[in-house]
Structure 1
Amino acid sequence: MGFPGSVLVGVLVGFYVSGSSDADLKITAEPGDDVTLTCKAPENMKMKSLEWTRVDLEEGEYVFVYRNRGINLDDQHESFRNRVFLNNSQMKDGDLSVVLKNVTVNDTGTYTCSVMRENDPDREMILIGSVHLSVIPPGDKDGVSHGNLGLIPLSGLLLLTIFLLLVS
């Protein structure tokens, strides 16, 4: 009888571990808020291009693209049109942050900031950082949305399962 309980504990631990995000920064906002997705280039890095994307977008679709000394709107995903702007239009002091205006629940996700160095013979995009944005409607007090399991309920369930296994 110990085997099924072990599997259950393993499954629960798997949910607990997979529920965490590798994002560098986590931001929580409400629909309608303006949010700054922060990114800072390494000191003295000369950049040829900047790409902000969300991990669930198709390849070639971007949240924001800066190439050849200008903003490229052609590759911007339609849901971000007229809503994403550089926080600092000159990108002074390596500030590659963008402002996402009027966020909606559909904007929830992990965003990545990548750059291509000037004169890079490999023309590789280098990941600088990531931001996980959660847009939670007002009144959603526990912060659990979109079917995600919360830390407290899951850990309590895990402890209850272990207790039941020990008692039986």
Structure 2
Amino acid sequence: MPALLMKNASKSPTMWFCGLVLLLVLVGSPVSGTSNPITAEPGDDVTLRCEDPNIDQKPVFEWTRTDLQEKENVFFYRDNRPYLDDQHESFKNRVSLKNSQMKDGDLSVVLKNVTVNDTGTYQCRVLKGLSADQNTPISTILLSVSPPGEEGGGGNEGGKDEQGGGGDKDQVNWSLLGLIVLPVLVLALGLVLVGLWIYRKKKGSNQSSRGSNDQKNPECGLLNSDSKAGRNATNI
């Protein structure tokens, strides 16, 4: 579809602009699943949500945090049971499946008794192969834990998740900035392109008008000279 729009771009600036917008939307669309911010207070139980309705009968998946070492994880599940060998020490005995039967592909986990040190970006992956493309995150959670009264805290009373909280503040701010700046840039580029098209169109019409006037002026000159000569002949 984008290729078809770009192919017709030379015929119309509007088509070119629409093709550019569609391309930017496709490129900027999240490929790695949902991204949700959660805020919590120390001592809360937090649910890290992840769903994959198309999982196998014996799924292999893991929860990680982006600042952990490569072989460390938050939770790893294989052969119908959790594997704890590579689980980071801070998550021992604190992470469990929300739904032990994983009904409808529910791969969510519950992180118990969170602390400020649990603040970070959590990712859920279903492991389907060795390449990174096959193991892209299907869920990303931005968790922010801070005491009551501090900025970004107080979002999960009674261990309930509150969507739309502070999350990783810096990362959320950058995401919001990107969402604001991208449409502005696209709009500015579109206005520039439309302005250039209008300018060229007016310039071409002005040149055509001057050319037609130049062609008419000699004829008018000849008519004027003929009438002048006639008047002189009459006077004689």
- TM bucket, shorter chain: 0.5 to 0.7
What is the Cα deviation at residue 73 of structure 1?
0.6
Residue 124 (structure 2) pairs with residue 87 (structure 1) = no
Does 2:89 correspond to 1:39? Answer: no
1:36 and 1:103 mapped to 2: Cα distance? 11
Asked if the contact 1:23–1:132 (Cα under 8 Å) also holds between the matched residues in 2, the reply is no
Higher helix share: 2
Q: Quick one: percent identity of the two aligned structures?
A: 57
Task: State the AA in 1 paired with 2:55.
Answer: M
> TM-score, length-normalised on structure 1?
0.66
How far apart are residue 60 of structure 1 and its match?
0.5
Gaps of 5+ in 2: 1-32, 154-165, 178-236
Please list the CA deviations of residues 81-120 of structure 1 after superposition, one character each: whole Å capped at 9, or x if unmatched. Answer: 0000000011110100000000000000000000124xx5
Aligned length: 125
For 1:1-168, list aligned pairs within 5 A. Answer: 24-41=35-52, 43-46=53-56, 48-117=59-128, 124-140=134-150, 142-143=151-152
Secondary structure of residue in 2 paired with 1:65: strand
Cα distance between partner residues in 1 of 2:34 and 2:142: 6
Q: Could you tell me which runs of 5 or more consecutive residues in structure 1 were left unpaired when the two chains were aligned.
A: 1-21, 156-168
More strand by share: 1
> 3-state DSSP class of the match of 1:24?
strand
Alignment-derived partner of residue 14 in structure 1: none
Residues 24 and 121 (structure 1 numbering): CA distance in 2 closer, same or farther, change over 3 Å? closer
RMSD: 2.8
**Radius of gyration: which is bigger?**
2
Q: Give, in angstroms, the shift of residue 48 of structure 1.
A: 3.2
Larger relative contact order (Cα-Cα within 8 Å, sequence gap ≥ 6): 1
Offset at 1:121? 8.1
CA contact (8 A) 1:25 1:130 kept: yes
Contact 1:104 1:135 in 2 (8 A): yes
Name the TM-score, length of structure 2 as normaliser: 0.48
Pair 1:132–1:67, CA change in 2 (3 A): same
